[in-house]
Chain A
Amino acid sequence: MESQIFAKQIRERSLQMVHQAHASHIGGALSMADIIAVLFTHVMRYDASRPDWEERDRFILSKGHACVSYYAALAQVGFIADADLDTYSQNGSQLMCHVSHKIPGVEVSAGSLGHGLPYGIGMALAAQRKKRHYRTFVLLGDGEMDEGSNWEGLMFAAHHRLHQLCAIIDYNKIQSLGNTNEVMCLEPLKDKLVAFGCNVLEVNGHDHEALLSAFRQFEQEQQRPTVIVAHTVKGKGVSYMENNLAWHYKSPDDQQLEAAIEEIEQ
Chain B
Amino acid sequence: MRTAFIQQLLREAETNERIFLIVGDLGYNVVEPFRDRFPDRFLNAGIAEQNMTGVAAGLAKEGYNVFIYSIANFPTLRCLEQIRNDIAYYNGNVKIVAVGAGFSYGSLGMSHHATEEVGIMRTLPQMVVASPSDPGEARAVATLSAQYEGTMYIRLGKAGEKQVFPHPDDPLELGKLHCLQESETPNLLLVTGNILHEAVETVRREKMATAIYSVPFIKPICKEQLVALAQRYPHIVTLEEHQASCGLGSAIIEQLSDAYAQGRLQAFPKVKRIAVNDRYVDVAGSQQYMRNISGLMLKKEDFL
* Residues A107 and B61 in contact in the complex (CB < 8 Å), given A112-B81, A112-B85, A129-B40: yes
Partner of A118, one of B40, B46, B58, B62: B58
A156:B62 contact, CB within 8 angstroms: no
Is B59 interfacial (CB-CB < 8 Å)?
yes
Q: Which residues 108-154 of A sit at the B interface, judged by CB distance below 8 A?
A: 108-109, 111-112, 114-115, 117-127, 129-130, 148-149, 152-153
Is A101 interfacial (CB-CB < 8 Å)?
yes
Is A155 interfacial (CB-CB < 8 Å)?
yes
B54:A122 contact, CB within 8 angstroms: yes
CA distance A123 to B56 in the complex (A): 9
Most buried by A among B45, B56, B90: B45
Q: Which residues of A contact B48 (CB under 8 A)?
A: 152, 155-156
Q: Which residues of A contact B81 (CB under 8 A)?
A: 112, 115
B62:A101 contact, CB within 8 angstroms: no
Partner of A125, one of B55, B63, B86, B90: B55
When C-beta atoms are compared, the residue in chain B nearest to A120 turns out to be B58
Q: Which residues of A contact B52 (CB under 8 A)?
A: 118
Is B51 interfacial (CB-CB < 8 Å)?
yes
CA distance A227 to B86 in the complex (A): 22
CA distance A237 to B59 in the complex (A): 38
Partner of B58, one of A109, A123, A152: A123
Minimum distance in angstroms from B258 CB to a CB of chain A: 28
Q: Chain B interface: which size bin?
A: 20 to 34
Q: Which residues of B contact A112 (CB under 8 A)?
A: 81, 85
CA distance A130 to B17 in the complex (A): 11
Most buried by B among A109, A119, A126, A156: A119
B55:A122 contact, CB within 8 angstroms: yes
* Residues A121 and B85 in contact in the complex (CB < 8 Å), given A101-B90, A126-B62, A156-B48: no
B63:A118 contact, CB within 8 angstroms: no
When C-beta atoms are compared, the residue in chain A nearest to B53 turns out to be A118
CA distance A101 to B60 in the complex (A): 15
CA distance A118 to B64 in the complex (A): 16
Q: Which residues of A contact B56 (CB under 8 A)?
A: 122
When C-beta atoms are compared, the residue in chain A nearest to B54 turns out to be A118
CA distance A156 to B47 in the complex (A): 11
A152:B62 contact, CB within 8 angstroms: no
Quick one: CB contact mask for A212-235 with B, threshold 8 Å, 1 for yes? 000000000000000000000000
A123:B50 contact, CB within 8 angstroms: no
Which residues of B are in contact with A by a Cβ distance under 8 Å? 40-41, 43, 45-46, 48, 50-64, 81-82, 85-86, 89-90
12 A-B contact pairs sorted by A residue (CB < 8 Å) = A115-B82, A118-B86, A119-B86, A121-B54, A122-B54, A122-B55, A122-B59, A124-B58, A125-B58, A126-B64, A152-B50, A156-B45
The 10 closest A-B pairs by CB, nearest first: A122-B58, A118-B54, A126-B62, A152-B51, A152-B48, A122-B55, A149-B50, A123-B58, A118-B51, A122-B59
